[in-house]
């Protein structure tokens, strides 16, 4: 794996670049990005070695597509058109069904492995890239059977070298489950931030009174709308379903409080405390 092309030099693409450079000392990292400023910053930070364009992809051994999921639908077929038969291409998008369908009948579908590393922060851009972002994180692989076996091996070698745990799932199941554990939490965080901003017109009061609980709950509201709006659009049906369930739970909790039924409020929270056992079990 000598020539590594990263399309989208932000948090995810940049972090892949940093970790690959540490694991494969003789590789060359090429950056492709619509923002020249991103490429300049990434080069100055040592995240990439060279700037490149899509037309250079015929040199690639590995291509990482780390751009918003709507852009992936447009760019991924072009990438597959350009790569050699020996190159492995993978994405890192938070939705999988539409992306897999987009390239289902592409002549070089065998060169693509659909991936979703469950890793990230609320920050974006080349400056957000960090070493070790993917260590001990789950990487969900979809439709692995559609990828040529020797190219699967190349991708899995890379994922293992970066310390990822691999899980296999079909695209439809992935999008349904990720709506609950990721997409809903981002919406909740955005709307909590919106509610507080609208209610507390004096921003000093927010900062003076906000504790660690508020800060951790609203952290995801700092995430990029340019990345998350396309995710919500592509996974609209599943996200709406999760929102309906979440809203029903909020209404139920509100009703218990209106009825002064705080024994039931206690039991609701006590039952939900079980989530700490679930999360401890998967860490």
Decide which of 121, 141, 169 is a domain's last residue: 169
Average pLDDT over residues 41-67: 98
Question: pLDDT class for 282, splitting at 50, 70, 90?
Answer: low
Tell me how far apart the alpha carbons of residues 205 and 69 are, in angstroms, rounded to a whole number: 37
Per-residue confidence (pLDDT) for residue 202, from 0 to 100? 67
- In sequence order, which residues have a C-beta less than 8 Å from that of residue 245 and are 6 or more positions away? none
pLDDT digits (tens, 9 = 90+) for 186-218: 999 999 999 888 877 766 676 676 677 778 888
**61, 84 in Cβ contact below 8 A?**
no
Number of domains the chain contains: 2
Decide which of 169, 188, 209 is a domain's last residue: 169
> Same domain, yes or no, for 203 and 272?
yes
Average pLDDT over residues 15-26: 96
> Same domain, yes or no, for 22 and 144?
yes
**44, 157 in Cβ contact below 8 A?**
no
Domain with 278 in it: 174-282
Decide which of 119, 154, 169 is a domain's last residue: 169
Please tell me what DSSP assigns to residue 241.
H
> Same domain, yes or no, for 116 and 31?
yes
> Same domain, yes or no, for 206 and 189?
yes
Per-residue confidence (pLDDT) for residue 123, from 0 to 100? 87
The pTM of the whole model exceeds 0.85: yes
Question: pLDDT class for 40, splitting at 50, 70, 90?
Answer: very high
> Same domain, yes or no, for 199 and 136?
no
Structure tokens at 120: 């990230």
Tell me how far apart the alpha carbons of residues 268 and 79 are, in angstroms, rounded to a whole number: 50
CATH number of the CATH domain containing 257: 1.10.3660.10
Average pLDDT over residues 26-33: 97
């Amino acid at each position: 794996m000598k020539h590594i092309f990263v399309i989208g030099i932000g948090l995810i693409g940049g972090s892949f670049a940093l970790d690959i450079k540490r694991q494969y000392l003789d590789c060359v990292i090429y950056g492709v990005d619509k923002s020249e400023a991103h490429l300049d910053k990434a080069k100055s930070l040592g995240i990439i070695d060279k700037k490149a364009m899509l037309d250079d992809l015929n040199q690639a051994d590995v291509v990482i597509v780390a751009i918003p999921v709507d852009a992936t639908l447009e760019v991924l077929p072009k990438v597959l058109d350009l790569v050699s038969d020996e190159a492995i291409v993978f994405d890192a998008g938070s939705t999988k069904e539409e992306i897999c369908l987009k390239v289902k009948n592409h002549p070089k579908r065998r060169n693509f492995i659909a991936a979703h590393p469950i890793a990230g922060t609320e920050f974006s851009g080349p400056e957000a890239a960090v070493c070790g972002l993917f260590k001990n994180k789950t990487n969900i692989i979809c439709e692995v059977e559609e990828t040529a076996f020797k190219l699967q091996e190349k991708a899995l070698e890379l994922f293992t070298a970066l310390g990822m745990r691999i899980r296999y799932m079909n695209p439809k199941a992935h999008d349904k489950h990720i709506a609950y554990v990721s997409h809903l939490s981002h919406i909740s965080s955005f709307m909590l931030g919106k509610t507080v901003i609208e209610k507390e017109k004096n921003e000093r009061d927010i900062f003076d009174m906000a504790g660690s609980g508020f800060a951790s709950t609203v952290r995801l509201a700092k995430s990029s709308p340019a990345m998350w709006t396309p995710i919500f659009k592509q996974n609209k049906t599943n996200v709406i379903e999760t929102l309906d369930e979440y809203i029903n739970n909020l209404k139920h909790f509100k009703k218990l409080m209106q009825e002064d039924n705080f024994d039931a409020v206690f039991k609701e929270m006590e039952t939900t405390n079980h989530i700490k056992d679930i999360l401890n079990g998967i860490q």
